[in-house]
Amino acid sequence: MCMSVPRYWRERAYRYRLVGTECLSCGRRYYPPRRVCPVCHSRNLVEVKLPERGVVVTYTIIRSPPRGYEKYAPYAIAVVELLDGTKVLAQLTDIDLSEVEIGMEVEAVFRKIREDGEEGIIEYGVKFRPRLTGH
Amino acid sequence: MRTASDVGIVGYGAYIPMYRIKAKEIARIWNVVQVPIEEKSVVGLDEDSITMAVEAAKNALKRANIDPRDIGSVRLGTESKPYAVKPSATIVAEVLGITPNTLAADLEFACKAGTEGLQSSIALVASGMVRYALAIGVDTAQGRPKDALEYTAGCGAAAYILSTKSHETLAYIEGSHSYVTDTPDFWRREGRFYPMHTGRFTGEPAYFKHIINAAKGLMEELGLKATDFNYAVFHQPNVKFPLTAARRLGFNMDQVKPGLLCDRIGNTYAAAMLIGLANILDMAKPGERILAVSFGSGAGSDAFSIVVQDAIEARRDLAPKVADYLGRRKYLDYAKYLIHRGKIRMR
Ligand SMILES: [Zn+2]
Q: What is the pLDDT of residue B200?
A: 64
Rounded mean pLDDT, A95-115: 96
Q: Which residues of B touch A110 (CB under 8 A)?
A: 51, 54-55, 58, 95
CB contact under 8 Å between A112 and B46, yes or no, is yes
Burial class (CB in 10 A: 0-12, 13-18, 19+), A69: middle
Asked if the model's pLDDT at residue A134 lies above 80, the reply is: no
CB contact under 8 Å between A110 and B55, yes or no, is yes
Which ipTM was obtained for this model?
0.94
Active site residues of B: 79, 111, 235
Domain annotation for chain B: domains and CATH numbers: 7-170+319-340 (3.40.47.10), 174-312 (3.40.47.10)
Q: What is the pLDDT of residue B58?
A: 98
| Cα→Cα distances A21→A27, A38, A80, Å | 10, 12, 16
Q: Which residues of B touch A122 (CB under 8 A)?
A: 48, 50, 82-83
Could you tell me if B274 and B115 are in contact, meaning their C-beta atoms sit under 8 angstroms apart? yes
User: Which residue among A71, A96, A134 sits closest to B321, beta carbon to beta carbon?
Assistant: A134
Q: Which residues contact A121 (CB under 8 A, 6 or more apart)?
A: A5, A8, A115
* CA pair distance A103, A108, nearest whole angstrom: 15
* pLDDT in 10s for each residue of chain B, 347 residues: 999 899 999 999 999 999 999 999 999 999 999 999 999 999 999 999 999 999 999 999 999 999 999 999 999 999 999 998 899 999 999 999 999 999 999 999 999 999 999 999 999 999 999 999 999 999 998 888 888 889 999 999 999 999 999 999 999 999 999 999 999 888 888 777 788 887 766 888 999 999 999 999 999 999 999 999 999 999 999 999 999 999 999 999 999 999 999 999 999 999 999 999 999 999 999 999 999 999 999 999 999 999 999 999 999 999 999 999 999 999 999 999 999 988 877 66
E strand spans, B46-93: 71-77
pTM: 0.96
B220: how many CB neighbours lie within 10 A of its CB?
Answer: 11
Could you tell me if B202 and B297 are in contact, meaning their C-beta atoms sit under 8 angstroms apart? yes
Phi, psi angles (nearest 5°) of residue B207: -55, -60
- Write the pLDDT tens digit of every residue in A28-67: 999 999 999 999 999 999 999 999 999 999 999 999 999 8
Q: Which residues of A touch B91 (CB under 8 A)?
A: 124
Asked if the model's pLDDT at residue A135 lies above 70, the reply is: no
CB contact under 8 Å between B55 and A109, yes or no, is yes
Domain ranges of chain A: 5-130
Q: What is the pLDDT of residue A14?
A: 85
DSSP, res B206: I
B83 touches chain A (CB under 8 A): yes
CB contact under 8 Å between B44 and A93, yes or no, is yes
User: Which residue among A12, A70, A94 sits closest to B44, beta carbon to beta carbon?
Assistant: A94
* Ligand 1 centroid distance, CA of A41 (Å): 6
Mean pLDDT of all residues in chain A?
92
Query: How far A113 CA sits from the closest chain B CA (Å)?
Result: 7
Q: What is the pLDDT of residue A24?
A: 97
Quick one: pLDDT band at residue A2, thresholds 50, 70, 90?
low
Q: What is the pLDDT of residue B310?
A: 98
Could you tell me if B302 and B178 are in contact, meaning their C-beta atoms sit under 8 angstroms apart? yes
CA atoms within 13 A on the CB side of B111: 34
Query: How far A127 CA sits from the closest chain B CA (Å)?
Result: 10
* CA pair distance B161, B57, nearest whole angstrom: 8
